[in-house]
Structure 1
Amino acid sequence: MLNGERLIAKPYRWAMVGGGRTGNVGYKHRIGALRDNTAFELVAGAFDIDAERGKDFGTNLGVDPSRCYADYKTMFAEEAKREDGIQVVSIATPNGTHYEITKAALEAGLHVICEKPLFFEEEEGIEIKKLAEEKGKIIGVTYGFSGHQLLLQMRQMVENGDLGEIRMLDLRYTHGFNATDTESANASQKWRVDPKVAGKAFVLGDISTHTYYMSRLICPELKVKELLCDRQSFIKSRAPMEDNAYVLMHYENGAVGRMWASSVNAGCMDGHRIRIIGSKASVEFSDHQPNELLYEIQGQPPQKLIRGMSYLYDECNADERLGALHTEGLGESWANIYLKFAVAMDAKDRGDEETLKNLVYPGIDAGIEGIHWINTCVKSADEGAVWVKF
């Protein structure tokens, strides 16, 4: 169980690029990083494209005004001159900027935590992975839902054969908040449907990558062989960016899967679900009820497994924070992955490859696979919703 005691010698000096007052993701990064104040300390930032607004915001977060910078290049250069300069940077900016900022951060000798999707092209991911290895640095990708510890319970149930042979994966991440033309009046939404800034996809990149990574976390041995994607732009002004997509998958072991990703599922407030179906039993997770797992064994009454209970696997309860009587949510999930980022960075800095080998967290390989997922789905859809090799 986690109780806030330090897992590394001292907190990393941490900065942010983006994540300012007008964004909608920066606070998630901060509650994740700072939940365990033994892991990270926010000491600097280039929080906003508007320098004065960013400085005002950073100061209100408690950052020294002299370390609230106008842009990331200035921050990297100035912090490098300080004995107490930053060691880690989180990138919470639009997708099209991730590659150049990540590369600059690595060249400045910094560990990197980056929003998803990581980059536009796999070649960029491979290049950055090589650079990170040369610099001896860690890259973490903020698949923020993946820190829910019941996903680790599902992982162990699959690994231990509790479900039998895995036959089907039913994946869904939908909501209705873009059922109308929301981007016309919302700058933070507008860039998400601009291919020059967001990349080749909207909901496939913005939300389905979360669910795809979670499925890989739960079933790491299950690899997609081929997929078929059909995508739509129900708000026509978004084309070619999709606001709805269906993906069918064939896995190498003969299992099948489907993914529904949508931001036009009008009225939906509980649309993020993962169901893993085996030959003996099924297990289902919903991030709307992240403290419970539905466990259904063929021929037996349905069971509800509750977070924090002693009957869960140790690998699950290792990330427990509050105890079974007290509900956890997205803040704790982000805190869990940020804490693992810190442990990974510390292990990398110490040359502890054994810890890195056994640590489960979304790193550079997960980011590259997320790029591959998006681009393969887009290729299938743009070729007429055909099966393509993964």
Structure 2
Amino acid sequence: MINGEKVLDHPIRWAMVGGGRGSQIGYIHRSAALRDRSFELVAGAFDINPERGKDFGIQLGVAPERCYPDYKTMLMEEAKRSPEDRIEAVTIAVPNGLHYAVCKAVLEAGFHAVCEKPLCFTTEQAEELVHLADSKGLVVGVTYGYSGHQLIEQARQMVLHGDLGEIRLIKMQFPFGAYNTAVEETNAAARWRMDPAKAGPSFVLGDVGTHPLFLAETMVPDFEIESLMCTTKSFIPTRKLEDNAFVIMNLKGGAQATCWASAINCGALHGQKVRIVGSKASVEWYDERPNQLTYEIEGEPVRILERGGAYLYPSARAEDRISGGHTEGLFDAWSNLYRRFAIAMEKANKGEKADFWYPDVHAGAEGVKWVEKCVESAKKGAVWVKY
């Protein structure tokens, strides 16, 4: 159980690029990183407007001289500081189009990174980041935040222990409804997501589809795609990128998987679900009820497994922050991930590798490849493509 005791020799000295005042995701990054005293925010380039970014950083308690006008200046100036004082890790919380350049610069400067997804836009870029991280012994965490919920680990252990039998089907979906009209015409925060120059080759596949994909990859450790077929559509005709997509996947070993990603599912808040169907039983996790895992054994009544239950596998209970019966949410899930990132970074600093899973640079690269293959299939008229 997580109870606030320190798990590191010292907090990771940490900086942010982006995530400033008005950011949709800046606060959850800071809340998650600082929750367990595993990180200490000491620097940042928080805003494209240097004065606004400096004012914001000061309000967060960052020293004025370490509130930088841009990330390049920050990396250069921090490198001049003594090893005991300079930053050790950087969170990248900027629009998608900047992820690759900032992450590459952070790694080249010798610092660990936590990057929003997508990691980048192309497989070539992803392979370069993988090589940089691996060759320098650096950690790159990717914020697939939902994977920090405890019952994702429970589902993983049930698959590994054979509770579901042979895995046959995996059904993924993340179809929300907030963009069922042209909201980008008046909402700047939505507008960049529809712009290929800033969002990349995809809207809903990259923005939401990769979330249940990583959950499925975590729940089913041998999840490996052999081929896929994808169809996409923009129901709002002014959009240059898809707002709805369906994907069918054949997996190595014979299982099949599907994914529905959408932004026009009227009335749905999130709708993110992952269902794993085996030869003996099935499990289903729904992100709007993240503290419960549905467990269905053929011929028996449906069971609801609750977060914190004594019947869960030990590794699923290890990240309890409060006893069972109390609900935990997305901020807790992100905190669990940031805790994993910190431990992995400290191990890397000592020349060791983490012996636990977390969404790393390889997971980020896999998400990039999946989007790329889906777009390839859709552009060719929804044909099967080898993965």
Question: Where on the TM-score scale, by shorter chain, does this alignment land: which range?
Answer: over 0.9
> Deviations 1:95-129 (Å, cap 9, x if unpaired)?
11111111111121110110101011111111122
Aligned partner of 1:182 in structure 2 is: 183
- State yes or no: 1:65 paired with 2:64: yes
- Secondary structure, counterpart of 1:276 in structure 2: strand
Q: Secondary structure at the match of 1:222?
A: coil
Q: Deviations over 1:327-368 (max 9, x none)?
A: 100001100111101111111111223xx2x21100011011
2:239 corresponds to which letter in structure 1? R
Task: Kindly indicate whether residue 137 of structure 2 is the aligned counterpart of residue 136 of structure 1.
Answer: yes
Amino acid at match of 2:228: L
CA contact (8 A) 2:133 2:361 kept: no
- Within a 5 Å distance, the mapping from 1:85-104 to structure 2 comes to 85-104=86-105
* Secondary structure in 2 matching 1:77: helix
Counterpart-to-counterpart distance in 2, 1:347 and 1:202: 36
TM-score normalised over the length of structure 2: 0.98
C-alpha separation in 1, matches of 2:181 and 2:60? 34
Q: 2:386 aligns with which of 373, 385, 389?
A: 389
The CA RMSD measured in Å over matched residues stands at: 1.0
> Match of 1:296, SS?
strand
Structure 2 match to 1:337: 337
Distance across 2 between alignment mates of 1:183 and 1:52: 27
Specify whether residues 256 and 30 from structure 1 end up closer, same or farther in structure 2 by C-alpha distance, changes over 3 A only: same
2: CA distance, partners of 1:160 / 1:335:
27
Measure the CA separation in 2 of the matches of 1:79 and 1:167. Answer: 50
Residues 1:77 and 2:64 are matched in the alignment: no
The 3 A distance-change label for structure 1 pair 238 and 85 is same
| TM-aligned CA deviation for residue 274 of structure 1 | 0.6
The residue number in structure 1 matching 2:48 is 49
Whole-angstrom CA distance in 1 between matches of 2:269 and 2:112: 35
The correspondence of residues 1-390 of structure 1 with structure 2, limited to 5 A, is 1-37=1-37, 39-83=38-82, 84-239=85-240, 241-353=241-353, 356=354, 358-390=355-387
The range that moved more, 366-375 or 252-261, is 252-261
Give me the whole-angstrom Cα distance separating, in 2, the residues matched to 1:270 and 1:108: 38
Structure-2 separation of matches of 1:21 and 1:195: 25
Question: CA offset at residue 94 of structure 1?
Answer: 1.0
Kept in 2, the 8 Å contact 1:22–1:188? The answer is no
In structure 1, what is the Cα distance between the partners aligned to 2:345 and 2:365? 19
Matched residues in 2 for 1:49 and 1:352: separation? Answer: 36
Q: SS where residue 238 of structure 2 aligns?
A: helix
| Number of corresponding residues | 385
Query: Structure 1, unaligned stretches of length 5 or more?
Result: none
In the TM superposition, what whole-angstrom CA distance separates every residue of 1:236-286 from its partner, at most 9, and x where no partner exists? 1112x1111011111111111111101111110240111101111110101
Letter in 1 for 2:237: K
How many angstroms apart in 2 are the aligned matches of 1:362 and 1:178? 27
SS in 2 for 1:164: coil
Percent of counterpart pairs with the same letter?
52
Q: Distance in 1 between matches of 2:357 and 2:135?
A: 22
| Contact 2:142–2:359, Cα closer than 8 Å, also in 1 | yes
1:197-236 CA distance string (max 9 Å, x none): 1110001001111110110000011211111111110111
Q: Look up the equivalent residue of 1:213 and give its one-letter code.
A: F
Quote the Cα distance in structure 2 between the aligned partners of 1:160 and 1:135. 35
One-letter identity of the residue aligned with 1:341:
F
Deviation at 1:59, TM superposition (A): 1.6
C-alpha separation between the residues in 2 aligned to 1:262 and 1:56? 38
Distance 2:22 2:232 in 1: 30
Q: Which secondary structure does the structure 2 equivalent of 1:70 belong to?
A: coil
Question: Structure 1 87/264 Cα, relative in aligned 2: closer, same or farther at 3 Å?
Answer: same
Given that 1:308 and 1:323 are in contact with CA atoms closer than 8 Å, whether structure 2 keeps it comes out as yes
Q: CA deviation at 1:375?
A: 0.2
Gaps of 5+ in 2: none
Please state how far the C-alpha of 1:69 moved relative to its aligned partner: 1.1
CA contact 1:229–1:380 (8 Å) conserved in 2: yes
> Secondary structure at 1:237's aligned position in 2?
coil
Structure 2 counterpart of 1:378, which letter? V
SS for the counterpart of 1:2 is coil
The residue type paired with residue 242 of structure 1 is E
Letter in 1 for 2:156: R
CA–CA distance in structure 1, aligned partners of residues 171 and 134 of structure 2 = 35
Measured in 2, the distance between the counterparts of 1:222 and 1:41 equals: 36
**In structure 2, how many angstroms separate the alpha carbons of the residues matched to 1:351 and 1:55?**
35
